[in-house]
Amino acid sequence: MGKGRETYGKKDVRTKKEKKRKEKELKRIERRENKGTGSPEDMFAYVDEFGNITSTPPDPSQRATVRAEDIQIAVPRNLSSDPDDTTHSGVVKFFDEGKGYGFIKDLENKQDIFVHASGVIDPITEGNKVTFEVVKGMNGWNAVNVKIDREP
């Protein structure tokens, strides 16, 4: 068998690998030479009150005390909606009577809410303006007691 020819692409890849290997070796030698100069204090980084990383430690006199009882770890509740008002209004985005389900777009928060035929009181079609109640289902929010909105 004859010796295979080396193409330009293979030669280019080989030279890049060699160059990378030499750069890595130079970095290794440089780290070995500068090994004794680093102190643990040089490796510390501090975060100031604005979240920026600095090399200077914070001033202990500026420290603020925080009580553990004041820290709240939770999702903030939606304070804008009235808990007594459970009825929502929306527009039927899609409803298939044959399959028995569809979706309603809530006018208040623009969310799509699943509706099943068992939760429908009045017969609905796409584009109807409806009022409904929202309950938590297995896979998200479900609309129940769906009625056509007959307000003038």
pLDDT in tens, 88-147: 899 999 999 899 999 999 988 888 999 999 989 988 989 999 999 999 888 888 999 999
SS3 state of residue 73:
coil
110 vs 3, more confident:
110
Total number of domains in the chain: 2
Grouping H, G, I as helix, E, B as strand and the rest as coil, residue 55 is: coil
104 belongs to a structural domain: yes
How does pLDDT run across 19-70, given as a tens digit for each residue? 999 999 999 998 888 776 666 666 788 888 888 998 888 888 888 888 998 8
How many whole angstroms separate alpha carbon 22 and alpha carbon 26? 6
CA distance 76 to 65: 24
- Mind listing the pLDDT tens digit for each residue in 59-98? 888 888 889 988 888 876 654 554 446 788 999 999 998 9
Give the pLDDT confidence score for residue 83 in this predicted structure.
Answer: 46
Contacts of 105 (CB under 8 A, 6+ apart): 90, 91, 93, 111, 112, 113
100-122: buried (b, 16+ CB within 10 Å) or exposed (e) per residue?
ebbbbebeeeeeebebebebbee
Model pTM score? 0.45
* 91 shares a domain with 143: yes
**CATH code of residue 129:** 2.40.50.140
For residue 16, the model assigns a pLDDT of: 94
In this prediction, residue 1 carries a pLDDT of 54
Greater model confidence, 5 or 50: 50
Rg (CA), the chain: 33
Residues of the domain holding 45: 9-64
Please indicate, yes or no, whether residues 92 and 144 belong to a single structural domain of this protein: yes
